[in-house]
Amino acid sequence: MSEQIEYTPDIYTLIDEEGNEQAFELLDAMELDGQRYFALIPYFESPEDSLEDDGDMVILKSQIVDDEEMMASIDDDEEYEKVGNLFLDRLADMFEEEMSGDSE
């Protein structure tokens, strides 16, 4: 008998600079050099809608505004690349662990 694991994603609705709202699923979060970063992908309630998306991961960082934590874009290309590569490595490791755990 196989156990079914219930998965409830962490969904965030973000507003871009033009005021457009879009839902994102949190893949991972980490702290680096005293800064908190988030890796997200667009979230779609319908699996068919997700097929039309390019699936690009979005990397944002924490910014405190009026005592509230907000997610903000990373303007520095070097910082974005460094953090993005760390997230890619972490996510690849997590995926490999899940795959190796399934084969046992």
DSSP letters spanning 80-92: HHHHHHHHHHHHH
Order across the sheet with 21-32: list the strands: 11-15, 21-32, 35-42, 58-65, 68-73
- Does residue 34 belong to any structural domain of this protein? yes
> Distance between CA atoms of 54 and 51, rounded to whole angstroms?
8
Model confidence at 62: pLDDT above 90:
yes
34-60 per-position pLDDT tens digit: 999 999 999 988 777 777 777 789 999
- Does residue 5 belong to any structural domain of this protein? no
- pLDDT (mean) for 6-11: 79
Three-state SS letters, 47-74: HHHHHCCCCCCEEEEEEEECCEEEEEEC
Residue 71 has what pLDDT? 92
- Does residue 61 belong to any structural domain of this protein? yes
Residue 103 has what pLDDT? 47
Model confidence at 91: pLDDT above 60:
yes
How sure is the predictor about 8, in pLDDT bands with cuts at 50, 70 and 90? confident
pTM higher than 0.85: no
Question: How many domains are contained in the chain?
Answer: 1
54 or 89: which leads in pLDDT: 89
- Does residue 3 belong to any structural domain of this protein? no
- Does residue 1 belong to any structural domain of this protein? no
Q: Which domain covers residue 69, as residue numbers?
A: 11-102
Residue 81 has what pLDDT? 95
- Does residue 96 belong to any structural domain of this protein? yes
DSSP, res 77: H
- Count of positions (residues) in the chain: 104
- Does residue 59 belong to any structural domain of this protein? yes
Question: Per the structure block, which two tokens stand in for 16?
Answer: 């871009």
- Does residue 74 belong to any structural domain of this protein? yes
